[in-house]
Amino acid sequence: MLFLSVLHIETATTMQQNLQETITRSLEGNQEAFRSLVDHYQQPAFTLAFRILCDEEEAKDAVQEGFIKVWSHLNRYDKTQPFSSWLFRIIANCSIDRVRKIRRRNEITLEQIEITLERIRTEDPGTTLDNQEIARLIRFLASGLPEKQQLVFILRDIQGMDSAEVKEVLGIPDTLIKSNLYHARKSIREKLEKIYSMERRQL
C-alpha cells in the first residue's frame, strides 16, 4: 500500500516535471511542445468555455481562439504564476467576448428542464449528464439574470473558481462579486422554487 502511494506521488511529480518542461519548450517557440500543451489542456479549457457559452461549437471556437492567443502572447506569460491560471483566464475572456456577441434562440422547454431536474433529484449523486443537458440546465439557471450575475454564478458555483480567480477574469472587486453572486443565487432559488411548487401542485 505504502509502495503504491509512493509510486503514485512519484508519477504525479514526474508528470508535473514533464508538463513544466513542455511549457518551457513552448515558451522557446517549439510548436510540437505547444501541441502537447494543447492536447493536455483542451478538455479543461473546453469545460470552462462550454459552461460560459452553453454551446459546443462556440466553445470549441473559443478554445481554439484562446490557444492561438496564448501562442502569440507567450512572451507575456509570467513564469512565477501557474500556466493553467493564465491559460484559463485567456479562455474565459475569449468565451465572455463570444457570449456577448452571440444571440441565443430560446429553445429550452420547461419539460426538458423538469426531466433533468428530476434525474438529478432522484438519481444517485453519480448521475451523468450529457452535453446538451448541461447546456440546457446552465442556460435555464442563468437566463433572465444580468450578464455580470450570470458570469459570477457560472465561474464561482459551477466552474468552482475562487474569488481571486473570478476577480482576475472579470476585473471586478470582491464586494461586487459577492453581491452579484448573492442576487444570482436568490433569483435562481426563486425560479427553482416556482418549478418545484408547480410539480407539487400537479402531484
Partner 1 sequence: MNPDSGKQSGDPLDRLCNALHRNEPRLHDRDVIPRKVMETIGNKKQAPSRSAYIPIVRRPVLIFAQRLLTAASVSLLILFGVEQYMVVKKVNTLEERMASVHVEPATNVAARFVRSGFTFTSLPERFLVRKNLIAFQRNDIRSHLESTIKHVQP
Out of 35, 104, 178, 194, the residue judged to bind partner 1 by CB under 8 A: 35
The answer to whether the beta carbons of residues 162 and 178 sit under 8 Å apart is no
Contact code string over 39-58 relative to partner 1, x by CB under 8 A: x--xx--xx--xx----x--
Out of 34, 83, 86, 88, the residue judged to bind partner 1 by CB under 8 A: 34
Could you write out the DSSP letters of every residue in 77-138? --TTS-HHHHHHHHHHHHHHHHHHH--------HHHHHHHHHHHHHS-TT----HHHHHHHH
Out of 27, 33, 108, 172, the residue judged to bind partner 1 by CB under 8 A: 27
Distance in angstroms (rounded) separating the CA atoms of residues 151 and 176: 12
Query: Is position 138 an interface residue for partner 1 (rule: CB under 8 A)?
Result: yes
Write down the least CB distance from residue 11 to partner 1, Å.
22
- Contact range with partner 1 by CB under 8 A, out of 11-19, 23-31, 102-110, 172-180: 23-31
Out of 15, 120, 164, 198, the residue judged to bind partner 1 by CB under 8 A: 120
